[in-house]
């Protein structure tokens, strides 16, 4: 099944795999159903017979029970179907993940080339970015050296020949294997949660920038002031944190950093909701509060960026943007300069 033009068998296998969804091993296709699928694919009677015979011969499908024509996908059929789907040009971000290193790299090349067909930050961009992150994680797992645990005792009297050194060696191997699996879970959790973390930080950078602009305009008492609305200062909330199972797989320090960052977003959100438009409040003081809260969010975000390796997982869409850490540090410097200038204006007025 290596032809560049999909054969009837390949087309049927892809269709069956797509319809099998998340439970491909237990999905069954009755004769009327898979017959209808071949009709939708435009296969002739001869092509249908060729496809089914080819897939059975290759052990990609089986009749379950054998005396019926109810089709079941085999494990190898599921794997091959996944690979064929990701090789097709009409791939979808929700397609099953490839299960071989070759398939993963082919899919990575495809989605890397299509990432910037959408505007950075759009739904398309985030969905493709999330798939790329997951693919990189799968690639990393393939490149991780597997650990083999063996028992050194052999022979008919093997149970009596196992000494304390052998048992200690095996125990150490088991502990090492457990630590390795734990590290893999920690890494996987970071990669899964990274896209929404990046999106949230980008939003705080925007809020911080608008807070600086409004703070400066009211401090200087400009005639024309920004026209930002309350919703412009509301953070974006994560969809996975804190209920996704991957959150429980985070390392303790990573989980603490993420919790502190998202808690700071709630503090910013509460202040915006509590103080926006409140009678008697000077706008310059109002935006100064928002600015300091957004600044705290960004400082906590810097910790998360390092722990979640965001700059490696999700590089900037354009090199001219600079890394997200660079942009945060530039924003904090801008805030510092605005605060110094505001204080100087206040002291100058007080000295008159």
Pairing of strands 28-29, 71-73: antiparallel
Q: Measured on CA atoms in the order 320, 313, 113, 94, is the torsion positive or negative?
A: negative
CA distance 332 to 346: 21
Whole-model pTM?
0.56
pLDDT at 147: 40
Q: How far, CA to CA in Å, does 154 sit from each of 46, 149, 150, 151?
A: 57, 14, 11, 8
pLDDT at 144: 55
Give the N- to C-terminal CA distance of the chain in Å, as an integer: 86
CA distance 327 to 308: 17
State phi, psi for 24 to the nearest 5 degrees: -65, -30
* Number of residues assigned to the chain: 352
CA distance 348 to 352: 7
- DSSP-derived 3-state class of residue 130: helix
Q: What is the mean pLDDT of each run of 10 residues along the chain (352 residues)?
A: 65 89 88 88 86 92 86 91 74 78 76 71 76 80 52 41 48 56 79 92 96 94 90 94 88 93 96 90 93 97 94 86 94 95 86 66
């Amino acid at each position: 099944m290596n032809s560049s033009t999909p054969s009837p068998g390949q087309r049927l296998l892809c269709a069956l795999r797509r319809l099998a969804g998340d439970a491909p091993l237990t999905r069954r296709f009755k004769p009327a159903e898979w017959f209808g699928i071949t009709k939708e694919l435009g296969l002739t009677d001869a092509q249908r017979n060729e496809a089914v015979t080819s897939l059975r011969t290759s052990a990609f499908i089986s009749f379950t029970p054998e005396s019926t024509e109810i089709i079941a996908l085999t494990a190898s059929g599921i794997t091959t179907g996944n690979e064929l789907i990701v090789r097709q040009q009409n791939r979808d971000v929700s397609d099953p993940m490839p299960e071989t290193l070759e398939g993963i790299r082919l899919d990575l090349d495809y989605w890397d080339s299509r990432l910037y067909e959408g505007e950075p930050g759009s739904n398309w961009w985030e969905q493709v970015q999330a798939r790329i992150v997951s693919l990189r994680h799968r690639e990393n797992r393939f490149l991780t050296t597997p650990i083999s645990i063996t028992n050194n005792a052999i022979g008919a009297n093997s149970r009596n020949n196992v000494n304390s050194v052998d048992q200690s060696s095996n125990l150490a191997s088991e502990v090492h294997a457990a630590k390795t699996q734990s590290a893999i879970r920690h890494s996987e959790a970071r990669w899964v949660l990274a896209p929404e973390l990046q999106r949230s930080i980008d939003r705080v950078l925007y809020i911080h920038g608008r807070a600086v602009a409004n703070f400066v305009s009211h401090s200087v008492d400009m005639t024309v002031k920004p026209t930002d609305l309350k919703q412009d200062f509301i953070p974006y909330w994560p969809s996975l944190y804190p209920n996704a199972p991957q959150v429980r797989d985070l390392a303790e320090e990573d989980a603490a950093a993420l919790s502190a960052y998202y808690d700071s977003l709630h503090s910013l959100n509460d202040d915006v909701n509590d103080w926006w438009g409140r009678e008697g409040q000077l706008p310059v003081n109002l935006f100064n509060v928002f600015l300091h809260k957004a600044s705290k969010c960004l400082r906590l975000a810097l910790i998360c960026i390092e722990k979640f390796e965001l700059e490696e997982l999700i590089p900037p869409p354009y090199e001219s943007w600079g890394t997200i850490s660079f942009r945060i540090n530039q924003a904090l410097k801008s805030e510092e300069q605005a605060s110094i200038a505001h204080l100087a204006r206040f002291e100058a007025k007080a000295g008159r």
